[in-house]
Every structure is written in structure tokens, then in C-alpha cells.
Amino acid sequence: MSEELVTLTIDGVTVRTAPGTLLVEAAAQAGILIPVYCYHPKLAPVGACRMCLVEVEGAPKLIASCTTPVREGMVVYTDNQRVRKAREGILEFLLVHHPLDCPVCDKGGECPLQDFTYQFGPSRSRFRYPKRHWDKPLQIGPNILLDRERCIMCFRCVRFCEEISHHRQLGVFQRGNNQEIGTFPGQPFDSRFAGNTIELCPVGALTGAPTRFFGRTWEIGHTPSVCTGCSTGCNIRVDSRHGSEVVRLWSRENPATDDGWLCDPGRFGYGFVNDGRLEEPLVESDGQCVPATWQQAIARAGAVLEQHAKAGTLGILTSPRMTSEELFSVSKLARTVLKVPHLDHTARYVHPAAVDLRAFAASAGFTPGTLRDIQDARQIITIGVDLSREQPVTDLRVKKAVTQKGAELVVVDAEELELSAFARHTVLWQPGDEAATVMSLANAVASPSEANGMQAVGELLRQEGPKVVLLGWRVGESPDAERIGESLAALAQALGPGTRCVTILRHCNSRGALDLGVHPAEDPVSGRGMSGEEMLRAACEGRIRALWLLGEEPLQDADPDLVRRAMENLEALVFQGWSLPSWLERVPDAALPSTTFAEMDGTFTNTHGRVQRIFRAIRPKGKSRPGWEIVNDLAQALGHPFDSRTVEAVFEEMCAATPAYRGLSWNSLGVAGRESQADSAAAAPAAAQG
């Protein structure tokens, strides 16, 4: 910015900041804490709670620092007698109707009302009258409980719904003492972003229903990690008890991925860590699964793998929710020891040309982009992806770009999406007709005369400004993907160079699986390996007789009928994962329990290529072990022991062997991760630095 900075004095400290900065933010830059309730950096300021009052020289009354931008030469006092008295008074008012709930309130111990009362508030009460009462708690949505007595009317929750999620399900009702937060009559607060209001609420008015009574801050361990719900790679904090149980997930802002929010399926979807786990190794005996030692299970699994690898009848399906270290180890075992070319991370149909969707987009001429590019875009196009359901937190980013930054959105899909309400245009295609539709769009952009009813869209997309295309994985699963690719190339040409494309993949480490080559690859000796879908078909025909299945995701998303027939036909099955799928209708020869993300260190790569670390939060359940350790044991049992014995060593080995991860080191990942090389030739500067 070439604008001149504004200079002001806060508590005797000279502060220089950009014009337009709010006083409360300027103070924060100088390390001066001004207590706030209604103010939040991501919400428009309202000046409702009056906690942030400060004295400004020349002004007769105290002013709210959250609604006041800095002015040249301002002299501000945030900690003098007058301000302290005001804060004490505000807190006294806030406490007047506040119920004596601290011992039973989930917020106690991490409550800004408690903390500011201790720091700034009165220590004795003068209020001797009855407090107002409401029925409580009220379950206003599947995940949210409302306690109206505790509410201090900061309106953060309502503002979040209005400004960020745009799911306008909360409102303020009544006035004065009777003012309350509520949902519209008969309507639940079931937004998939509802959980964020639990974090925003400065008191225990909005609390999580699934996490009710999870514990107290002094009993909880906090560990940084990454959500495994989708491929955004939202940074989270895992809260655990006794080192053995995950009790809550909390956000951990990373502007590169989540922008500070979580979605409810991710936030509340940690049950799989605590319950239903495969806790000890099993081997098949007389048609039943019986507990075994690790040694026995490894021996049995190794025998199956070896036998069928030699015969060329082994297929390997790994979950794209496993860490990169696990995937790398499996891939290494497959290619160098078992010499099996049939390795994939999904059993759904994927067009061979679009196996790596990012490469597919790059070959169409798009520059790989990151999720953050969305908020700087002028025009955003989503193609074949329903962000609201498939990558919710990115949906918030798009909404932010459209509603706060003036970006224009074009949605291209089979039907109207939730995001269509924010789109300038929705372009619909018929199933099977995707390539033609995209080509028409490309033409409409390229030449106004060939618009074919898409004049307005074309004109919009011809405008100046950074453009971002969000391409969904469903495009790669179309049998017509090749032609769609041609159309995309035309579109890229029409949109102009520098148009970024973020490919939206399905699972939290789909990108990692692709980077590590966990997909059918051209093998010099055996030719091209089978894809996951081909493996299932081959199993039905008896050409694949054994499957090493890691995780349930590859089969879970596949054609259930195909899966069933394949399972029936298999001679042998080795399962490795954190829980034995209930729908698996055959007894595995060996079941090897592996750890979830919460129980080990490792990395995931998000959809656009950001490598992020997860940290071990709880002890492995039962006898489960990290997948790469299990693979090490298998390698040993097969007579080819691997050298890398720690997760760090596996990571270093992985990076050395993977073009996209060259230059990354374990210690440099920190808690926020780093961008990998999106493609070695044209990695955009923003993507490479992270």
C-alpha cells in the first residue's frame, strides 16, 4: 500500500498503522489488550457491548474503540482511572442478570466474562433483586444448545449467520430486559456452520450439544492437528482427556486453508476415533476372526501378500484418509517389494486422463491455485462441485469473496446449488453433456458473437481481474472426461493466462495419494496397473484373487453391487485400518489395527497441495499402531526391511522421492504447514512459499 500510515499514541506508545484501522486493532498491534465481547475481527463491528470504551483526548465522553478508526495524532488512554471505572461498570451491568451458572456451565474456565470480571470487574455484587429467567437449555438445533439467561447480547451469533454463513437462522427478539436470541418459529438452527457460534459466543449461552459437559480446561490436553473430513485441510485443535479420549475439536485459524472456521460434520465428526475401533490384530481361523498377536497377524498377512503378489493376483486399495507417510510406505512396499502395479486409492470409476485432477487442469492450461486465491478473485467459477456439501469451509470463502469483496460467481453444474443464490449466473448441463456445455461457455467468453444464449456470462467472465476456477472431482469421474478436458482447455484459453484453478478433491489426503503415486501407474515391466474399479471387476472375474484393503473409504464410495460380488469372489483379504467396516461381508485373513489421525504424527496434503502436520493427541487405542509402522513390519516379514524407523525418517525419505515435496523438511512444517510444489515448472510464488 502506498498510502501514508497514520501515527497515533496509545498509552504513551507511538503506533503507526494503515488508515481505516480500528482503534481496537491498532492497540492490539501495539500489544495493548482492550477487552471486547461484541467485536470480532471477522465480523463487522457494532459497538454493542461497550467493553472496549477508551478515553481519547479531546472527546468529552469515552468512545468505543471497536467502531472508531484511527486518526492522525490521536492520543488514547486505555488504562486510566476513567476507563477502568467504565469497564467495571459495564461488567457490573452485564452481570446483573447473569445466572449463577459457572459451576454447571460448559464455558467456565475458558470464559471471557469470567476472565474480564476477574481482571477488570467488581469483586462484590450490589444487585439484590430477582434475575430474569427462561427455560433452559433450549436445543435450538441438532448440535446447538441455547441458554438465554447467560446471553450478554453481543449478537456475534446472529452476525455470523448474516455475514459469514448466510444461513439466516438466528435472530434477536424482544427488547430491553426481555431481549433474547432465538430461531425463527419452528425452524431449527441446523446450519452446517452452526458450531462456529459456540466458539464465537463469549459466554455459555451457545454450547455444543454433542460436546456437552466435555470437561474443564484444566483437565483437557490441547494438540494441533488437521481435520480429516474433507480435502480443505482445516486446522484444528484436538482436545483430549486422560490422554485416551478425544472430547472436542476446536478451530485453529489458518488463513491458507480454513480461514478460521470449521463445519459441523468436521467439528463433531470425531466419534470414529473413540468408538467402534479395531483394537487388536485378528486372524481368520475356521471362518471366524480371532484375536492374535502382532507377530501372528503380520506373518499371516505377509504370507497372503507374498503369495498373491508373486502370482500377479494381488490388488491394493488404500484409503485417501491415511497420512502421507502411511501411503508412501504402502506404495514403496507395493512397487519395490511386492512388485504389484495394481495400487489405487479409490474403487470408483475415474477416467484415466483425469486420475490426477490437478495435472488434468494444468494440462488444460490452468495455473494451479490455492484456496486463499479465492478471496482475491474478481470472478469465481465452480465447475462440477457443490462446495456447500462437499467442501463447506471453502463455501464460506466463496461467500466472503462475493458478499464482502465484490467478486462475481458463476456456478456450472447439473442443477441449482445452494451457492447459486450467490451466483450471478448458474449454467446447467445435462448429464452426459458436460463437455458441450463447457465448450459453449468457453466460446461465449472468447467471442461475444458466439454466445448462444450465454452472452451475459460471457461478458462477465471477459472482465478484468483475477479469475479462479474451482474444479470438482466428479468431472474426473465422467467417462467423457477427455472431451471435457478439451473444453476446459478452450475455457482456460478464453479466460486468459494466469487464471488459477483449484481442484477440489474428495478426501483429506487425496492430494497426498496422488502426489505419492498411489494410483495406477505405467510400470516398465508389467504395464499399466489396474485402477481400483478395474481391480473389483477383475476380482469378479477371478483375475484378482486377493485384496489388501487399507481403510474402508475405497470400497465405501464404490458401486455396492460390484463390491459385494468382488468380495464374494476373493480368495483372501488383508484388512488394515482403524475399524472393521460393518458392511464387509467376508472374514479377512488378517485384520491389522492402525491408528487414526489423533493417535499419531504425520502429514496430510490438502486439496491444493499444502502439506500440514498432525500431532499425536492421545495414546493409540488398544494395540493399534501407525500404518507405516505396520508396513515396516510387513517389509521385514517379507525379507526386505525398510530403513526408516521413525515417522520423521519416513517423511524425509518420502520427500526425497516425491517431486512435489522436494525441499520440505519435517521441522519446517511447524503447525501451519507449507505449500508443496503444485507442479515443478509453474509453481506460482504464493503456492511455493506457504
Partner 1 sequence: MEFEQTRRIFEKARERFGEDVSLSDRPNGEGSIVVEPSLIRDFTRWVRDEAEGSFDFFGEVCATDFLGRSPRFDLTYTVYSTTANRHLHYKTRVDDPDPQVDSVVDIFPGAGWHEREIFDMFGVRFHGHPDLRRILMPEHWRGHPLRKDYPLGGEEVQFSSNFADITPQTLPPAPGEDIFLGWDVLETQPSSYTQLLESGAELEHDGEGRMVINMGPQHPSTHGVLRLLLELDGENVVKAVPDIGFLHTGIEKTGESLNYQQALTLTDRMDYLSPMGNNLAFSLSVERLIGLEPPERATILRVIFAELTRIQSHLVWLGTHALDLGAMSAFFYCFRERDQILDMFEMVSGVRMMTSYICPGGLREDVTDDFVPALERFLKVFPDRLGEYETLLTRNPIWLERTQGVGKISAEDAVAYGVSGASLRGSGVRWDVRKAEPYCGYDTYDFEVPVGTNGDVYDRYLCRIEEMRQSHRIIRQALSRLQPGPVQAEERKVVPPPKSEIGQSMESLIHHFLITTIGFVAPPGEGHVPTETGRGLLSFYIVGDGSPKPYRMRARTPSFANLQALPRMLEGCLVADAVATIGSIDIVLGEIDR
Partner 2 sequence: MFVEFVKGLGITLRQVFRKPTTVNYPEEKRPPSARARWRHKLLRHEDGLERCIGCSLCAGACPAHCINVVAADNTDEDRKSPGERYAAVYEINMLRCIFCGYCEDACPTGAIVLGPDYELADFDRASFIYGKDRLLVPEPGEVAREKKRLVEREIG
Q: How far apart are CA 287 and CA 561, in angstroms?
A: 23
Contact with partner 2 (CB under 8 A): which of 242, 528, 645, 662? 242
| Residue 394 and residue 371 in contact, taking contact as beta carbons nearer than 8 Å | yes
Contact with partner 2 (CB under 8 A): which of 219, 415, 541, 585? 219
Tally of helices (H runs) and strands (E runs) in the chain: 23, 31
Site for partner 2 in 109-128 (CB under 8 A): 109
Element (H, E) at 207: strand 206-208
Toward partner 2, which CB reaches closer, 102 or 521? 102
- Binding of residue 133 to partner 2 (CB under 8 A): no
Q: How many Cα neighbours within 13 Å face the side chain of 475?
A: 32
- The β-bridge relationship of strands 206-208 and 144-146 is antiparallel
Q: How far apart are CA 144 and CA 247, in angstroms?
A: 16
**Look-up: residue for cell 508389467?**
526
- Binding of residue 129 to partner 2 (CB under 8 A): no
Choose the binding region for partner 1 from 109-117, 141-149, 165-173, 279-287 (rule: CB under 8 A).
Answer: 109-117
Closest contact distance (angstroms) between CB of 178 and partner 2 is 23
Closest contact distance (angstroms) between CB of 118 and partner 1 is 5
C-alpha 405: how far from chain center: 22
Residues 6+ apart with CB under 8 A from 81: none
Site for partner 2 in 155-214 (CB under 8 A): 212-213
Choose the binding region for partner 2 from 37-45, 104-112, 118-126, 402-410 (rule: CB under 8 A).
Answer: 104-112
Closest contact distance (angstroms) between CB of 268 and partner 1 is 22
Residue 356 grid cell: 490426477
| Residue 281 and residue 622 in contact, taking contact as beta carbons nearer than 8 Å | no
Closest contact distance (angstroms) between CB of 218 and partner 1 is 6
Q: Choose among partner 1, partner 2, none what residue 115 binds, the Cβ cut-off being 5 to 8 Å by kind.
A: partner 1
- DSSP assignment of 301-338 equals HHHHHHHHHHHT-EEEEE-TTS-HHHHHHHHHIIIIII
Q: Choose among partner 2, partner 1, none what residue 121 binds, the Cβ cut-off being 5 to 8 Å by kind.
A: partner 1
| Residue 14 and residue 26 in contact, taking contact as beta carbons nearer than 8 Å | no
- Binding of residue 275 to partner 2 (CB under 8 A): no
- Binding of residue 104 to partner 2 (CB under 8 A): yes
- Among 397, 422, 408, 233, smallest CA distance to 323 is for 233
- DSSP assignment of 513-573 equals HHHTT-S--EETTTEEPPPHHHHHHHHHTTS--EEEEESSHHHHTS-HHHHHHHHHH-SEE
- The β-bridge relationship of strands 467-472 and 343-344 is unpaired
Contact with partner 1 (CB under 8 A): which of 85, 242, 310, 640? 242
- Binding of residue 243 to partner 1 (CB under 8 A): yes
Which amino acid is present at 576?
Answer: Q
Binding mask 52-91 for partner 1 (x = CB under 8 A): ----------------------------------------
Toward partner 2, which CB reaches closer, 149 or 344? 149
- Binding of residue 667 to partner 1 (CB under 8 A): no
- Binding of residue 216 to partner 2 (CB under 8 A): yes
Q: How far apart are CA 379 and CA 385, in angstroms?
A: 16
Contact with partner 2 (CB under 8 A): which of 47, 215, 221, 466? 215
- Binding of residue 102 to partner 1 (CB under 8 A): yes
Q: How far apart are CA 489 and CA 501, in angstroms?
A: 12
Toward partner 2, which CB reaches closer, 219 or 585? 219
Q: Choose among partner 1, partner 2, none what residue 118 binds, the Cβ cut-off being 5 to 8 Å by kind.
A: partner 1
Site for partner 1 in 114-153 (CB under 8 A): 114-115, 117-119, 121-125, 127
Residues that bind partner 1 (CB under 8 A): 92, 95, 98, 100, 102-103, 108-109, 113-115, 117-119, 121-125, 127, 216, 218, 242-245, 619
Residues that bind partner 2 (CB under 8 A): 102-104, 108-109, 136-137, 212-213, 215-216, 218-219, 242
